[in-house]
Amino acid sequence: MKKQAILKYLAVFNPAEEGGYNVSFPSFPGCVTFGKTFENAKKMAKEVLELWLEEISALFFQDKKEVI
Protein backbone atom coordinates (compact mmCIF):
# COMPACT_ATOMS: atom_id res chain seq x y z
CA MET A 1 0.00 0.00 0.00
CA LYS A 2 1.37 3.38 -1.01
CA LYS A 3 1.73 5.89 1.81
CA GLN A 4 0.28 9.35 1.32
CA ALA A 5 1.87 12.44 2.76
CA ILE A 6 -0.24 14.61 5.00
CA LEU A 7 0.38 18.24 4.19
CA LYS A 8 -0.68 21.12 6.41
CA TYR A 9 -1.21 24.70 5.29
CA LEU A 10 -1.90 27.79 7.37
CA ALA A 11 -5.35 29.31 6.80
CA VAL A 12 -6.01 32.83 8.13
CA PHE A 13 -9.61 33.58 9.16
CA ASN A 14 -10.50 37.27 9.45
CA PRO A 15 -13.94 38.51 10.52
CA ALA A 16 -15.53 40.44 7.64
CA GLU A 17 -17.11 43.85 8.29
CA GLU A 18 -20.36 42.73 6.64
CA GLY A 19 -20.39 39.55 8.74
CA GLY A 20 -18.90 36.15 8.14
CA TYR A 21 -15.22 35.35 7.65
CA ASN A 22 -12.66 35.98 4.93
CA VAL A 23 -10.13 33.17 4.57
CA SER A 24 -6.70 33.36 2.95
CA PHE A 25 -3.68 31.09 2.65
CA PRO A 26 -0.36 32.96 3.03
CA SER A 27 1.50 30.21 1.14
CA PHE A 28 -0.81 30.67 -1.86
CA PRO A 29 -1.37 34.34 -2.77
CA GLY A 30 -4.78 34.74 -4.39
CA CYS A 31 -6.21 31.59 -2.82
CA VAL A 32 -9.05 33.17 -0.86
CA THR A 33 -12.64 32.43 0.07
CA PHE A 34 -15.48 33.55 2.35
CA GLY A 35 -17.97 31.89 4.68
CA LYS A 36 -21.11 33.24 6.34
CA THR A 37 -20.25 31.41 9.57
CA PHE A 38 -16.96 30.10 10.95
CA GLU A 39 -18.02 26.52 10.18
CA ASN A 40 -19.01 27.50 6.64
CA ALA A 41 -15.70 29.36 6.23
CA LYS A 42 -13.77 26.22 7.26
CA LYS A 43 -15.71 24.15 4.71
CA MET A 44 -15.14 26.72 1.97
CA ALA A 45 -11.44 26.97 2.88
CA LYS A 46 -11.00 23.22 2.46
CA GLU A 47 -12.77 23.28 -0.90
CA VAL A 48 -10.84 26.23 -2.33
CA LEU A 49 -7.50 24.81 -1.18
CA GLU A 50 -8.28 21.45 -2.80
CA LEU A 51 -9.17 23.19 -6.08
CA TRP A 52 -6.07 25.41 -5.88
CA LEU A 53 -3.78 22.43 -5.33
CA GLU A 54 -5.42 20.50 -8.19
CA GLU A 55 -4.82 23.43 -10.55
CA ILE A 56 -1.21 23.88 -9.43
CA SER A 57 -0.61 20.16 -9.81
CA ALA A 58 -2.11 20.16 -13.31
CA LEU A 59 0.14 23.05 -14.35
CA PHE A 60 3.35 21.49 -13.10
CA PHE A 61 2.74 17.81 -13.82
CA GLN A 62 1.00 17.86 -17.18
CA ASP A 63 2.40 15.90 -20.10
CA LYS A 64 5.01 18.26 -21.56
CA LYS A 65 4.46 16.78 -25.06
CA GLU A 66 1.11 18.55 -25.25
CA VAL A 67 2.51 21.99 -24.45
CA ILE A 68 2.90 24.15 -27.55
pTM of the model: 0.78
Residue 44 dihedral angles phi and psi, to the nearest 5°: -65, -35
Is the residue at 39 inside a domain? Answer: yes
Which tens digits make up the pLDDT trace of 44-57?
Answer: 999 999 999 998 88
3-state secondary structure of 32: strand
Is the residue at 18 inside a domain? Answer: yes
CA distance between the termini of the chain: 37
Domain total in the chain: 1
Residue 33 dihedral angles phi and psi, to the nearest 5°: -155, -175
Q: Which domain holds residue 41?
A: 12-55
Is the residue at 2 inside a domain? Answer: no
Q: Cα–Cα distance between 20 and 39 in angstroms, integer?
A: 10
Other C-beta atoms closer than 10 Å to the C-beta of 33 total 21
Which tens digits make up the pLDDT trace of 2-43?
Answer: 788 888 999 999 999 999 999 999 999 999 999 999 999 999
Is the residue at 27 inside a domain? Answer: yes
Is the residue at 66 inside a domain? Answer: no
pLDDT confidence of 63, banded at 50, 70, 90? low
Is the residue at 24 inside a domain? Answer: yes
